Amino acid sequence: MLQLETVTRPMPRRNEVLVKVRAAGVNPPDWKVRRTPFPPHFVEPPLIPGWDVSGVVEEIGEYVGRFKPGDEVFGMVDFPYPAGAYAEYVVARPRHLARKPAGIDHVQAAALPMPALTAWQAFSDIVEISPGQRVLVHAAAGGVGHLAVQLAKLRGAYVIGTTRASKHDFVRGLGADEVIDYTSVDFSEVLSDVDIVLDMVGLMARGQEYPLRSLRVLRPGGMFIAGSGMTPADAAAFDQAGVRRGQFSVEPDHAALAEIAALAADGKLAAHVDRVFPLADAAKAHAVMESGDFVGKLVLTVS
C-alpha cells in the first residue's frame, strides 16, 4: 500500500544537504521493495520509497563544498539503502548529487539518475564500447534500455534492441539500427556476432532464458552484462563456454552524473517521460510501471 502521510521534515547531518524535492523518478526497485521481503539493510514499513530526485538545496548543515542553498541539483540518493525520495524533502550526501542539467526541467532531470547511471556504468565499468561494435539492448524501450540505446549510439555502436512491436518506432527514434519484437521472434535465432549484450530482463522473465539465449548470439570474446542478475546455472554456462560475463548493481556516482548532465544539457541524451503523476498518485504510477504499459520513464511531481 502506498498512501500520502505527513511526517517530520528530515534534518541534514553534518555531511549532508537537505533538498527540497521538485520531482522524483519512479524505478523498478521502488515497487520491488514495496512488494517483496525487505532486504536486511531496510527498516520495516512504514517507509518512504524512492531514490531519484531533482530539486533545490534548502539547507547545508555543516557541509561546505560544491553546493549552497538555492542550487538546483539532481541525483540518485543513497542507493541501495533507504533514501525516501517520494517526499517534499530528502537528505543526501553531496557526492550523490550533481548540478541539474541546464535547459531541462526538474521532471526531465528526475527521470535520469538511476537508469542513466546504470547504462553508463555498464558501458564504462564493465566494458568499453568501441565504434562499430554490435550492441544488443534487451528491454530497449524501458527506463535503462532507452538511455542505453542512446549512450551506445553516442559511442559509435551498431545498436539492436528488443521490445514489443508497438514500441519499435520509439526505439528506432532513439537511434537503434535494428529492433526485434521479442513476442514473435526468438532473437537468438536471428542474431549472431554480437559484441555486447545488456540484459535488464534476465531473472524478471521467468522461463524465457534470456541469459542462455543471449549466450548463443555473442561472438567469441563478447561480453554479457547481467543488469538484473543471473542464476548460478546461467553463470556456469557462460564460464563453461568461455564467454565473459559481468554483474553489477548501480551505485551513486557524482562524476558520471556530471557527465550525464553535460550530455543532457547539450541535447545528446534525453530521458523520455511517458507520464507524470502528482506525489499523491504514487500508487497509480507503481501500477503503470508494473503493467509495463509505458515507454521510457514515469515521474512524480512533488512541489
Peptide bond into 46 cis (omega under 30): yes
What pLDDT score was predicted for residue 229? 77
Q: How far is CA 168 from CA 10, 174, 178, 207, in A?
A: 43, 10, 9, 24
Q: Which pLDDT tens digits describe the chain residue by residue (303 residues)?
A: 889 999 999 999 989 999 999 999 999 999 888 877 667 677 777 889 999 999 999 999 787 788 999 999 999 999 999 899 999 999 999 999 999 998 999 999 999 999 999 999 999 999 999 999 999 999 999 999 999 999 999 999 999 999 999 999 999 999 999 999 999 999 999 999 999 999 988 766 555 688 999 999 999 999 999 987 788 999 999 999 989 999 888 999 999 999 999 999 999 999 999 999 999 999 999 999 999 899 999 999 997
Contact 273, 299 (CB under 8 A): yes
Which domains occur in the chain, in start order? 17-112+271-301 (3.90.180.10), 115-247 (3.40.50.720)
On the 0-12 / 13-18 / 19+ scale of CB atoms within 10 A, 50 is buried
What pLDDT score was predicted for residue 36? 72
Report if pTM > 0.85. Answer: yes
Q: Where are the beta strands (DSSP E) in the chain?
A: 17-26, 52-59, 72-76, 89-92, 97-99, 134-137, 158-163, 178-181, 194-199, 218-226, 244-247, 273-278, 297-301
Instruction: Give the separation between CA 60 and CA 146, rounded to whole angstroms.
Output: 35
What pLDDT score was predicted for residue 78? 95
Closest CA to 164 of 274, 294, 32, 285: 294
The number of beta carbons lying within 10 Å of the beta carbon of residue 190 is 11
Instruction: Give the separation between CA 151 and CA 145, rounded to whole angstroms.
Output: 10
Instruction: Give the separation between CA 272 and CA 295, rounded to whole angstroms.
Output: 7
What pLDDT score was predicted for residue 247? 85
